Amino acid sequence: MDSKGSKMDLLLCLREEMQTRSTYDKVFEKVWGASGGWAVIMCPCGVVNSVKYNLRAESPRDYADMLLSFKHFPNVVIYDFARGLVSHTNLREPVELPFRPNEGRLAPTTQENITMAKTGDLKVELPWLQSRKDPPDADGHPSTGSAEHYALYDTFHQFNTKDDRDDLRLIRLVPELCGWLNSQVAEQLFSGMRKNNYFLNLLSPASHIFLMRNILHHHNEHLNKRAMEELKKVSNEDIILDLNGKAVLATNKQKDMYKIHPPRRSLEGTTQCGPHCEDLTSPEGISACRASWTFEYHPSQKALLDYVLDQEKTGAELIIRTEKVKYA
């Protein structure tokens, strides 16, 4: 095409060219291998749990890949094309359907339920979203205890479907979600990330992925830090991590409910090792937990660590011996 002329002339010329089938196919083949952006799975609090870099246009396939890679399948999934996500995911796992019961709908697809959902008279309570189900279901989620998996539409796209059965996939039908769940956290993240497109699109694929992961990591750390500060304002209890990495208050009731890691002790004002740090440094008590990542050493511990890592020492020296370490 000739680049001379006004914008309107160029648009009209482009329109005429694209009406030719051969030209359209040629252009489509060139852009088919272009990047399809990136897809994320987020908590309602805004923390990014999973990200996928798409080589093709975004589709339910990309989100199904991420969901099926989770160790614990989420109980409630909010998506802009929930019906398509359920169909694709259940076809990939026909033996044990991921979305069940009712194919991820909140109620059976009877005419009465559909009519009540349209009028707003249908309410489906999911109490395990607020308090863990007791006794838990077989293969239930460790946080909720429920094995039910639903796929719902976000509020921005809930009226884009023409299937009446999709009225049973609305957030407003669930009292535990209606009113407080922010279903637009992904759109808000994308809006904030647009300012980075001008330099991210100039990077190589490897650099782009590395920098994007770095940006999302700092995004998550900022949200987690702010949430921890809010918890400390409303409670004087210690905040610890349970077996699943969830932040909980160290009350006696929660200690009985969860198998938690020992709370991190404050080491300020102490300069020597002793019984006060035995549970943090004993080989029998060492485990992979987030609290140990920011553990501050005593000066004597730092000196001992420097001694152990000294490459000029003999390699035959016995440093430690234990027979009680249990591997998870």
Q: Do residues 273 and 300 lie in contact, with contact meaning Cβ atoms separated by under 8 Å?
A: yes
Q: Do residues 64 and 58 lie in contact, with contact meaning Cβ atoms separated by under 8 Å?
A: no
Lowest model confidence (mean pLDDT) among 37-41, 122-126, 259-263 = 259-263
CB-based burial, 93-124: b 16+ in 10 Å, e otherwise: eeeeebbeebbbbbbeeeeebbebbeeeebeb
Q: Do residues 248 and 258 lie in contact, with contact meaning Cβ atoms separated by under 8 Å?
A: yes
- pLDDT given at position 286: 58
3-class SS letters over 212-262:
HHHHHHHHHHHHHHHHHHHHHHHCCCCEEEECCCCEEECCHHHHHHCCECC
- pLDDT given at position 290: 52
Helix (H) or strand (E) holding 15: helix 7-18
Q: What is the pLDDT of residues 71-128, one digit of tens each?
A: 899 999 999 889 999 999 999 998 899 999 999 999 999 999 999 999 989 999 999 9
The residue-averaged pLDDT of 242-270 equals 53
Give percent of the chain above pLDDT 70.
77
Q: Do residues 178 and 76 lie in contact, with contact meaning Cβ atoms separated by under 8 Å?
A: no
Beta bridge partners of 152: 78
Does residue 42 register a pLDDT over 60?
yes
Closest CA to 98 of 120, 75, 115: 75
Q: Do residues 63 and 39 lie in contact, with contact meaning Cβ atoms separated by under 8 Å?
A: yes
**Structure-token pair, residue 328:** 């998870």
Question: Where does the pLDDT of residue 51 fall: very low under 50, low under 70, confident under 90, or very high at 90 and above?
Answer: very high
Q: Which residues contact residue 289 at a Cβ distance below 8 angstroms, ignoring those fewer than 6 apart?
A: 241, 261
- pLDDT given at position 268: 43
Question: Where does the pLDDT of residue 6 fall: very low under 50, low under 70, confident under 90, or very high at 90 and above?
Answer: confident
Question: Where does the pLDDT of residue 218 fall: very low under 50, low under 70, confident under 90, or very high at 90 and above?
Answer: very high
Q: Model pTM? A: 0.65
d(CA 17, CA 82): 37
Q: What is the largest CA-CA distance in the chain?
A: 83
Which residue did the predictor score with more confidence, 287 or 155? 155
CB-based burial, 292-324: b 16+ in 10 Å, e otherwise: eeeeeebeebeeeeeeeeeeeeeeeeeeeeeee
The residue-averaged pLDDT of 236-250 equals 72
- pLDDT given at position 269: 45
Helix (H) or strand (E) holding 112: helix 111-119
- pLDDT given at position 3: 74
Q: Where are the beta strands (DSSP E) in 31-124?
A: 38-42, 48-53, 76-79
The residue-averaged pLDDT of 129-148 equals 90
Question: Where does the pLDDT of residue 288 fall: very low under 50, low under 70, confident under 90, or very high at 90 and above?
Answer: low
- pLDDT given at position 258: 43
- Domain locations along the chain: 38-197, 239-308
Does residue 186 register a pLDDT over 80?
yes
Question: Where does the pLDDT of residue 328 fall: very low under 50, low under 70, confident under 90, or very high at 90 and above?
Answer: very low
Does residue 267 register a pLDDT over 50?
no
- pLDDT given at position 38: 85
Beta bridge partners of 50: 41
- pLDDT given at position 91: 94
